[in-house]
Structure 1
Amino acid sequence: MVGMQVIDWDLAVATGVRLVRPGPQVTREEAKQAVLDLRTLSREAEGHVREFTGIDSAPPEEATVVDRPGWIRANVDGFRVVLEPLTDKMSSMPPIVSAVGSRITGVEVGAVLAFLASRVLGQYELFLPPDPSGNAPTGRLTLVAPNIVHAERELGVSPRDFRLWVCLHEETHRVQFTGVPWLREYVRGQMTEFLLASDMDLTTLLERLRAAGDAVADAFKGGEGNLIEAIQTPEQKAVLDRVTAVMTLVEGHGDYVMDAVGPSVVPSVADIRAKFQRRREGGSRIDQLIRRFLGIELKMKQYAEGSRFVRTVVDEAGMSGFNRVWTSPETLPDRDEIADPRAWMNRVLGTRAVEPGI
């Protein structure tokens, strides 16, 4: 049965766009200025990041600046690409299950995207639909203008400094994924493996859904329940550990770079980081609940853990020592090594790198 959808994507987009909150009040002029600024600053940030990280990446391109509905549409395009392998697998399911299922998941995905679309400042989109002409870049740097304007107002920080600071983080991702040729395929391969490691027979599927329901109930009771972990097989857990490790590394590297490049080009970086950190941890009770349920809470821990890993290695072994991390999938840290950078240095750099006086 070809053409069957795991998720009703059009419904996901329609739901997301309907539910997403409008952005901050800005005049036409302010909106135009923000878009112009972000395009210029994303070009500028790329030079700083390349010079600082020593990663030779693709030539800079202007960021794509979007509003909240635009971000939702772009993410749905990305999801479709990532979930392709599942679609083939699902075609063996009884049609009635999939028809009902795809409506429910379409609404759910839309609701999740609406929640995130008012918070995400920017992202490097790794998985774009293939460009028929083959000319488009493999990834795209996207900045969500209304959210950046909203955040800088809420934090009371210098707009130019804040915008450049956000660009530094997202540009680091572009430099990573265009400068390390195997990284994108590695992440994609892991995601495919994750999706295909799921047991998709009906009984298992129903058990998973029940586990997901329990996770929601648990999150409401203040437990650690999270949707991502509720729906896994043991094989998927192993793959998820690898995905988590690599994403912790790239996010941590982004956080490290935006702060380390910061002082010379973003004078108020220390003030911005302190206020931003508080904002990341804040939010209403329902906000925190949704964040924990979606595993975003986990992501915040990852930023901190990842940037601590990068900082420790750079302090001990210099930037060139750290950059050995990009040699091949084998030199990536696993989850344990992220928590214990010296273990990674011993394995990849040899112990000499961490012994003082040598």
Structure 2
Amino acid sequence: MSDFPFGFSNRDDDPDRKPGDESSGSGANNPFGFGIGGPGGAGGFDPSQLGQMLTQLGAMFTNMSQPGGGQAGPVNYDIAKRLARQQLGATVAPVTAGAQRAVTDAAHLAELWLDQSTTFPAGATKTVAWTANDWIEETLPTWKRLCDPVAEQVSGMWTATLPEEAKEFAAPMMGMLGQMGGLAFGSQLGQALGQLAKEVLTSTDIGLPLGPAGTAALMPSAISEFSEGLEQPESEILVYLAAREAAHQRLFAHVPWLRQQVLGAVEDYARGIKMDFSAIEQAAQGLDPMSLTEPSKLEELLSQGTFEPQTTPEQKAALERLETLLALIEGWVEVVVTDAVGDRLPGAGALAETLRRRRATGGPAEQTFATLVGLELRPRKVREAAALWRRLTSDTGIEKRDGVWAHPDLLPDSSDLDSPAGFIDSVIGGGASSFDDPLQQLAETLERERLEKEKKADEGDTPDEKPGDTSA
């Protein structure tokens, strides 16, 4: 699967098209084909050509008369929401009173069972039953935070690929192309969210806190479809999924830094996106600028793989942090829920395996997350994280296990998931005192950071501070 966000694949939709087939105006420093040698003079631009292009682009945007059609920003979310709802159809059955009662009862039972398997108290202030339309509406604010950084980085390629002398002339066109990019991203986001809304089971199906804080949500219609063909009764499946949702809510509610850490890792990944501008310029050498007024031509240009982002060390580091953190979240939830339901649900083991396989085979949640954000959670890490949490539970107890979440520095890293023995031994043995009092561990970490800052000041690394001044 391509790592490029929004599903732009690395392919050429028109293999017969050859560079240079279009009109003149190509050049290594002329990525959008403006006439360098035209009436504007040597090294300049042809104003009439640029004016004609802007006129046609303006006409195209004038035709976008639907509400939200001209929304500014890296992603047109009005278009995304409209397309997502169109995929669901005009008739989305509302949640019945019986379905809402079933969800409420399942959540209440799950919370009682979870009290015995984790030190974190209930995190959800309310439990609701959502339709697919509700899911789109309630999760869109979080999708904006996840998608905007990626889209902004990709959209910036339009300006970055132009030579300095071109940016002044092309500024109006860049704004229009930005709107076109927002429409393109919004269209793909809408298609992905519309498909995902029909298949997600809870608000945390992807492992991210997509819904409003403190709101646990289950999707009765999707759960009914998911239950078809399984041997377990739908009522048991509902309770099991309610327990998973409640466990996620407990973790995100009582580990205050976790939500920001997860979403921040996605943003760090997006900021690390780098484009191969030389490939973009080469692809655009023979491009007729008039063709950009046709949406099909722009889509063709985007789909050729020319704008495939280059993996950077910063991205690799951010990706590893995110994968590890999501695996730790999912592994902890799996262990806590398994202990909570115990023998109360005879089919819990089979349900856990079904959900693992659903993820391992690239289920809709995994595919959509990879498509929208350009990231993928490897199932192998989830299994290894669950094994680590299981051994911590059995060897140290739930208090020390949950105490690991007191601070990001206490969590195991990717190497610990591959080889957990050392990390677990540090909790059981030499490092046990640190985990007995997580707040003390946090205080020690802050003290080390303070001492390091003072040391740098003494060495002259911070000129605004005087050596030896430790009053702060």
TM-score range, shorter chain: 0.7 to 0.9
Shift of 1:235: 0.9
For 2:232, which of 157, 166, 177 is the aligned residue?
157
Q: Deviations over 1:215-249 (max 9, x none)?
A: 9xxxxxxxxxxx9xx66432122112111111111
> Is 1:38–1:143's contact at 8 Å kept on the other side of the alignment?
yes
Find the counterpart in structure 2 of residue 186 from structure 1.
261
For 1:113, which of 163, 187, 193 is the aligned residue?
193
Shift of 1:266: 2.2
Q: Relative to 1, partners in 2 of residues 1:303 and 1:159: Cα closer, same or farther, differing over 3 Å?
A: same
Q: Does 1:257 align with 2:336?
A: yes
Q: Relative to 1, partners in 2 of residues 1:167 and 1:232: Cα closer, same or farther, differing over 3 Å?
A: farther
Amino acid at match of 1:18: Q
> Is 1:49–1:175's contact at 8 Å kept on the other side of the alignment?
no
Q: Deviations over 1:301-333 (max 9, x none)?
A: 343233222113223332233223202111122
Specify which structure has the bigger relative contact order, considering alpha-carbon pairs within 8 angstroms and separated by 6 or more residues. 2
> Is 1:50–1:175's contact at 8 Å kept on the other side of the alignment?
no
Say how many residue pairs are matched.
323
Q: In structure 2, the residue corresponding to 1:123 is in which secondary structure?
A: coil
Structure 2: distance between partners of 1:197 and 1:182: 22
Q: Does 1:38 align with 2:106?
A: no
Find the counterpart in structure 2 of residue 51 from structure 1.
116
TM-score by length of 1: 0.74
User: Gapped runs of 5+ residues in structure 2?
Assistant: 1-70, 160-173, 283-298, 433-472
Amino acid at match of 2:83: T
For 1:14, which of 47, 64, 82 is the aligned residue?
82
Find the counterpart in structure 2 of residue 74 from structure 1.
138
Structure 1: distance between partners of 2:360 and 2:279: 36
Greater helix share, 1 or 2?
1
Q: In structure 2, the residue corresponding to 1:154 is in which secondary structure?
A: coil
Q: Deviations over 1:39-71 (max 9, x none)?
A: 22223322322331112454x433222112221
Structure 2: distance between partners of 1:264 and 1:69: 36
Shift of 1:143: 1.3
Q: In structure 2, the residue corresponding to 1:122 is in which secondary structure?
A: coil
Shift of 1:350: 4.4
Structure 2: distance between partners of 1:150 and 1:23: 17
Q: In structure 2, the residue corresponding to 1:138 is in which secondary structure?
A: coil
Find the counterpart in structure 2 of residue 233 from structure 1.
312
Find the counterpart in structure 1 of residue 393 from structure 2.
314
- C-alpha RMSD over aligned residues: 4.0
TM-score by length of 2: 0.58
User: Gapped runs of 5+ residues in structure 1?
Assistant: 129-136, 216-226, 354-358
Q: Relative to 1, partners in 2 of residues 1:291 and 1:108: Cα closer, same or farther, differing over 3 Å?
A: closer
Asked which structure has the greater CA Rg, the reply is 2
Structure 1: distance between partners of 2:346 and 2:418: 31
Find the counterpart in structure 1 of residue 220 from structure 2.
145
Q: Does 1:100 align with 2:180?
A: yes
Shift of 1:202: 6.7
Q: Relative to 1, partners in 2 of residues 1:316 and 1:206: Cα closer, same or farther, differing over 3 Å?
A: farther
Q: Relative to 1, partners in 2 of residues 1:102 and 1:239: Cα closer, same or farther, differing over 3 Å?
A: same
Q: Relative to 1, partners in 2 of residues 1:52 and 1:288: Cα closer, same or farther, differing over 3 Å?
A: closer
Q: Relative to 1, partners in 2 of residues 1:181 and 1:296: Cα closer, same or farther, differing over 3 Å?
A: closer
For 1:338, which of 395, 405, 417 is the aligned residue?
417
> Is 2:115–2:121's contact at 8 Å kept on the other side of the alignment?
yes
